[in-house]
Structure 1
Amino acid sequence: MQVVMNATLNMSNNSSCVIMTQSASHLLMSINIIAFILGILFNLVTIGPIIQQICRKNILGIYLFGLSISDLLYILTMPLWIYYFANNHKWMLSQEMCSLAGFFYYSNLYISIFLLCWISIDRCLAITFPLRVQSFRRRRYAWMICGLVYVFVMAIHCLILYLDEVSDPLDDSEKRCYETFPMTRRIALFNLIRVGIGFLLPLVVITVCYCLIPSKVQQSTGVDEHGKRKVRLLSMGVIGIFSFCFAPYHIILLLRSIAFFSVGAEKSCYFEQVMYLPFTCSLALSSLNSVVDPVLYVLASNGVREDMRLYCCKKKLRQGTGSPLVDSKWRTRVTHLT
């Protein structure tokens, strides 16, 4: 116990509360590189078919488009984080670039959570009360909901950047970007709020929705076994995203905030050091949501898969139009599908 107290006091007296490790930096850098490559690939491959879904007046396509844009905005800032981790958590760029990178990271995180939550609500209502909600499931309402989610999340983060004591997110002595150890009282309070509203509340809503959907579909005689299986897989997939990508980060964030209020800033450095590696791993997992989003919702939809095949067929047809070797039956088939 005495050793623990001495370690705590020594860390508190040092300029750095938490000592960064090269292994953690390399882990974050490697996962972000993978997420950057796969995220760009998956989102660019699926954006065309999603737009086709929107043109066909598919409500789900609008929400998928909102997810893709949010993911792409975050993915474009990933090279900044990769460079940061390559320098062992030292931000060598300007303060404005640090603010920009953090803004898009947190915005993407909660835009994804709230859009996934609303998609779950939309699908639950469409299956549970198909006739009653038909008049409310309109494209303009879907665009409005996506817009409201974007405006709400980004406005909250702009307000935080303006009001927070960490309006300068850089630690002048350590050159860390959005890594404050120990956290301040204001940051700890904000963490508790965003864990409750930004994670726990959507998780409860999604769990309720995907508990109701399978039971309702199972009772339906108009849905075949393939359709029922797809609904069950989609239900498990959404909860899987929350469990794999979002839950570890928010759970550790909650524990860190509780520890701060329990023992105070001066004595929380030891706990912060112990939790640093798990928290680093949770950050890495949270960045993978930009890769998982298109895989789950785009490839789980039969309509989008058909659009991807059709999209490739059209591309091949355009490439071979000028050649006399193009099979006329192939052209007729593609024209019929479109």
Structure 2
Amino acid sequence: MQHCDYYLCLTIYIVTFITGFSANVLAFYTLSRKVWRKPAPIDILLLNLIISDLLFLIFLPFKMQEVANNMVWNIDYFLCPLSGFVFYMTIYNSTFFLTAVSVERYLGVAFPIQHSLRRRPIYAVFASIFIWVFSILHLSIVYIVPYYNPSGTVPPSRNVCYEGFTDAQLEILLPVRLELCIVLFCIPLLICSFCYINFIRILSKLPNIGRRRKLRAIGLALGTLLVFVLCFGPYNVSHVVGFITKSSPAWRDKALLLSTFNACLDPIIFYFTSAAVRNTLGHIFITNLSSFTLFSINRTQYEDIDHWDK
């Protein structure tokens, strides 16, 4: 059985849940209003990415509970494959939606006229539906395998979640994990790398874009690629190692922590990609700053009056 370091895993899960949930709720509120008023393809893709992250965060407490109980699953077992399915499905959802955003941004600078003429929000809706269905179908294996028992032998222990697979289950699971690595990570990574590398190359040569705006766009592209590799790379490498060694590597849970942390990093991408999110955060910051300043002034005046009264 894999063992996730108690303090490390629980700390990262809690930090991810608190910061990621609040940031994604704010981004969801902002982008949903933007999409309702004037939908743009990239806003629709980002909104779906937010929904995927929120769904991931809603089921994250199950992982927190598992770690808190030393990787022992002491609640109803049917929640194990269900939470695992949502957990892993939304991770791969993120890779696809981040890739779709990279394609949208690349087309916008590589073929600005043609893309603006053919740019329709409905295309982003169809792409989003395809991504959800594709991820659900591929990750359904996570829900099915724990119940797969063709030999009729004693099933794996029900007090451990998504571990202790039989040889028959591993014969199905390990090749599928390798396929997930290739289809749901490697191919999106290649597409994302192609789009952002060419995006940077084209953007750096455009003379009519301000230096500050250009640097922000290039920084966003490089940051997205870095998040893609660091958050999803190690976990998908564990699929390859598991396929070769015929067992899950001991560091698999620690690699999964990086994928978990992606839910905190996605809002940063929302901030730099969407002007609506930037404006909302700026408005909130200014409002809070004004309230704090007004409170400080009133408190100072009260202390002065109290001083003279004495």
Same fold (TM over 0.5): yes
Shift of 1:156: 2.7
Q: Which of 226, 235, 239 is the matching residue for 2:225? A: 239
The aligned counterpart of 1:146 is: 128
Where 1:95 maps in the other structure, the secondary structure is coil
Q: Which of 44, 48, 51 is the matching residue for 2:25? A: 44
2:262 is aligned with 1:289: yes
Q: How much identity, in percent, do the aligned residues show?
A: 25
Unaligned runs of 5+ in 1: 1-17, 261-267, 318-338
The aligned counterpart of 2:174 is: 188
Shift of 1:27: 2.2
Shift of 1:310: 4.4
TM-align CA RMSD: 2.6
2:148 is aligned with 1:175: no
**Cα pair 1:53 1:304 within 8 Å, conserved:** no
The aligned counterpart of 1:251 is: 237
Shift of 1:224: 1.1
Q: Which of 101, 112, 116 is the matching residue for 1:130? A: 112
Shift of 1:34: 1.1
1:120 partner amino acid? S
Please, what TM-score do these two structures have when normalized by structure 1?
A: 0.76
Shift of 1:30: 1.9
CA 1:36–1:197: 2 relative to 1, 3 Å = same
1:72 partner amino acid? L
CA 1:316–1:241: 2 relative to 1, 3 Å = closer
**Cα pair 2:216 2:272 within 8 Å, conserved:** no
Q: Which of 40, 52, 68 is the matching residue for 2:50? A: 68
The aligned counterpart of 2:194 is: 208
The aligned counterpart of 2:38 is: 56
User: Which whole-Å CA distance do the structure 2 matches of 1:26 and 1:259 have between them?
Assistant: 28
User: Which whole-Å CA distance do the structure 2 matches of 1:160 and 1:305 have between them?
Assistant: 37
CA 1:103–1:194: 2 relative to 1, 3 Å = same
CA 1:160–1:252: 2 relative to 1, 3 Å = closer
User: Which whole-Å CA distance do the structure 1 matches of 2:156 and 2:171 have between them?
Assistant: 20
Please, what TM-score do these two structures have when normalized by structure 2?
A: 0.83
CA 1:199–1:166: 2 relative to 1, 3 Å = farther
Aligned length: 283
**Cα pair 2:157 2:164 within 8 Å, conserved:** no
The 5 A counterparts of 1:1-338 are 18=1, 20-21=2-3, 24-54=5-35, 55-158=37-140, 161-162=143-144, 164=145, 166-167=147-148, 172-173=156-157, 175-180=159-164, 184-260=170-246, 275-276=249-250, 278-310=251-283
